[in-house]
Amino acid sequence: MKVKVLAFGIAKEIIKKDTINLELKAGVKVSDLKLILEECYPGLKKTAFLLAVNNSYVSNRKSIKSGDEIAIIPPTSGG
Amino acid sequence: MINALISKKDLNIEKSIDWAMKDSAGCLSVFVGRVRPKTNKKKVKYLKYEVYETMAIEEMKKIAQKASSRWNIDRILIHHRTGIVKVGEVPVVIVVSAEHRKDAMSACRYLIDTLKSTVPIWKKEVFNDGEKWVFSHA
């Protein structure tokens, strides 16, 4: 299945792209995708990050579905 | 009532206050951020904000709803800049109206503290000799 992954802040600089299109196996969980991303982009291991799915923070156990919009959220610093 | 906005242009503090001066409000609590000229004694050139806009608006509404369920609140406005914000400019305005001050002040403090740690907004400090991502001072 295809998913779109958006990268922001320091994660965007590490990946050197703001969007990645990934082909994943069905049933992949958020925690699996974190490991896949760290394997593809080892620089991500240097920063803490969460994954958001379709504009919400989700649990690591959530399964990812085809067409989901995932976002890499490094520690925020608004204000 | 909730008013959440991400803006590329200057924020208008007066209009933000006017929006909340309605209904049964007996007071407003206002938080205005300002880009400070120095960080750790180092001169700041400007700040560069990056925002995941769709989610930031969702998260702003979520924290406003949480504040409304916790305190007796009338209106909440949360406006935040994106892009380059210069020294002395205003990156964030929060206005809370309520019948009584304790509710307005507690909610306002909760909103700015929570915004910093959960709303997907990132800031980079740009100096004359380099730049650095800021991580939340929560």
Cβ-based neighbour number of residue A17 at 10 Å: 12
Contact criterion met (CB < 8 Å) for A56 and B33: no
Asked if pLDDT for residue B136 goes beyond 90, the answer is: no
3-state secondary structure of B50: strand
**Model pTM score:** 0.95
Asked if pLDDT for residue A27 goes beyond 60, the answer is: yes
3-state secondary structure of A62: coil
CB-based contact, B117 to chain A, within 8 Å: yes
Does residue A1 contact residue A26 with C-beta atoms inside 8 Å?
yes
Strands B73-81 and B2-7: parallel
Asked if pLDDT for residue B138 goes beyond 60, the answer is: no
B87-107: average pLDDT:
98
pLDDT in tens, A37-49: 999 999 999 999 9
One DSSP character per residue, B122-134 reads EEEEEETTEEEE-
Contact criterion met (CB < 8 Å) for B122 and A57: no
Contact criterion met (CB < 8 Å) for B122 and A52: no
CB-based contact, A19 to chain B, within 8 Å: no
pLDDT in tens, B21-67: 998 899 999 999 999 999 989 999 999 999 999 999 999 999 999 99
pLDDT confidence of residue B23: 87
Instruction: Give the number of A-B residue pairs with CB atoms closer than 8 Å.
Output: 66
How far, in Å, CA of B114 to CA of B96, rounded? 15
pLDDT confidence of residue B8: 98
Which residue's entry shows tokens 């520690």?
Answer: A75
CB-based contact, B26 to chain A, within 8 Å: no
